[in-house]
Amino acid sequence: MSSNIVHAPGLTPSALPGLDGEDKNPFLVALGERVRSLRARRGMTRKAVAIAADVSERHLANLEYGIGNASILVLLQVAGALQCSLAELIGDITTSTPEWLMLRELLDGRDEATLRRVRVAVGDVLGMGGDGSRERGGSAAQRSPRVALIGLRGAGKSTLGQMLADDLGYPFVELSREIEKFAGCSISEIQALYGQNAYRRYERRAVEEAIQIYPEAVIATPGGLVSDAATFNLLLEHCTTVWLQADAEDHMKRVRAQGDLRPMAASREAMEDLQRILAGRAAFYSKAEFRLDTSAQALEQTFRALRQMVRAGLQIPG
């Protein structure tokens, strides 16, 4: 702690109960350290911060020494007093070093189009540009003949993907099957036995391998892939992506027809959950270069529309 931090009388660490105890929660201790170091960076006394945050000095001292469990609203007030974001107080990775912080500052408040340009430029700097055809202007000649279908469960990725692969004479890659091969068990077993983080690692590896092995392919991706920004980024950079959209009702109907209710467990709120998932993911799915509404027409017509869209996009006659 910097020497310009003044402890109020009676509020020094030694005067507080339980300060030397080993039973303090490590997260609360780290949070307290961050508060102290932010306060030091601002050169503010504890009293000044307490006044600005409208909390008692004792409350602030407890927070700084990892005692008690301050409410989120108190943390918000303290963040306001320290002129930092709540994320910085909580210890978000993007606030952990000056470079991260400066990057955040530069990007703060930018519109989506600007952020996309920055993301692409960062990918280039880091050597992750890949084909990046879409991002570099998206001319048909530059697009990758590795076509990835994305969308929520029941969108038609497997059905239309296989049809498209047969039509183009490309290999069809069902990423979920590749993941199961790596893991030696089913997707649900991976998730139940090893957890979501392990599943995401397998998913990432499956995308990396598919990109490495197949210069041309139609890839059906797992619906939840967009939840992992790094994996989704990889896909966007190295594939021509198509978002297969459908109405929530169709997603539900199709998935149910296949006898599988994940992630829409049979409950009263199932449709609401599905709509929330769809709404939450739409902003990510919409990063795909092409999109096709599979609810608008029957399967055969939808396939013809997809075929035409992809052939035109890749400049393949037929």
Is 158 part of any known ligand binding site?
A: yes
User: Contacting ligand ATP (CB under 6 A), which of 95, 133, 144, 159?
Assistant: 159
Residue span binding ligand SKM (CB under 6 A) among the ranges 16-24, 103-111, 220-228, 304-312: 220-228
Q: Would you say 85 or 233 has its CB closer to ligand SKM?
A: 233
Provide the minimum distance between the beta carbon of 195 and ligand ATP in the complex, in angstroms, as a whole number: 20
Q: Would you say 60 or 147 has its CB closer to Mg ion?
A: 147
By CB under 6 A, tell whether 245 contacts ligand ATP: no
Q: Would you say 78 or 211 has its CB closer to ligand SKM?
A: 211
CA distance 49 to 83: 10
Coil vs helix vs strand at 301? helix
* Backbone φ, ψ for residue 129 (5° rounding): -65, -35
CA distance 301 to 40: 65
- Fill in the per-residue mask, 250 to 289: x = in contact with ligand SKM (CB under 6 A), - = not in contact: ------------xx--------------------------
User: Contacting ligand SKM (CB under 6 A), which of 223, 238, 248, 254?
Assistant: 223
CA distance 289 to 225: 16
CA distance 117 to 112: 9
By CB under 6 A, tell whether 219 contacts ligand ATP: no
Residue span binding ligand SKM (CB under 6 A) among the ranges 1-9, 219-227, 250-258, 292-300: 219-227
How many C-beta neighbours within 10 Å does residue 139 have? 10
- What number of CA atoms fall less than 13 Å from residue 305's CA on the CB side? 15
Q: Would you say 55 or 310 has its CB closer to ligand ATP?
A: 310
By CB under 6 A, tell whether 93 contacts ligand ATP: no
- Between strands 290-293 and 240-245, the pairing is parallel
Helix axes 46-53, 57-64, angle to 10 degrees: 110
By CB under 6 A, tell whether 158 contacts ligand ATP: yes
Positive or negative CA dihedral for 261, 265, 270, 274? negative
Provide the minimum distance between the beta carbon of 299 and ligand SKM in the complex, in angstroms, as a whole number: 20
Q: Which residues contact 121 (CB under 8 A, 6 or more apart)?
A: none
Beta strands, E only, the chain: 146-150, 172-174, 217-220, 240-245, 290-293
Window 145-184: residues binding ligand SKM (CB under 6 A): 153, 176
Exposure of 20 by Cβ count < 10 A (0-12 exposed, 13-18 middle, 19+ buried)? Answer: exposed
Provide the minimum distance between the beta carbon of 22 and ligand ATP in the complex, in angstroms, as a whole number: 48
By CB under 6 A, tell whether 187 contacts ligand SKM: yes
Q: Which residues are annotated as a binding site for ATP?
A: 154-159, 262, 297
Positions in the binding site for ligand SKM (CB under 6 A): 153, 176, 187, 222-224, 262-263
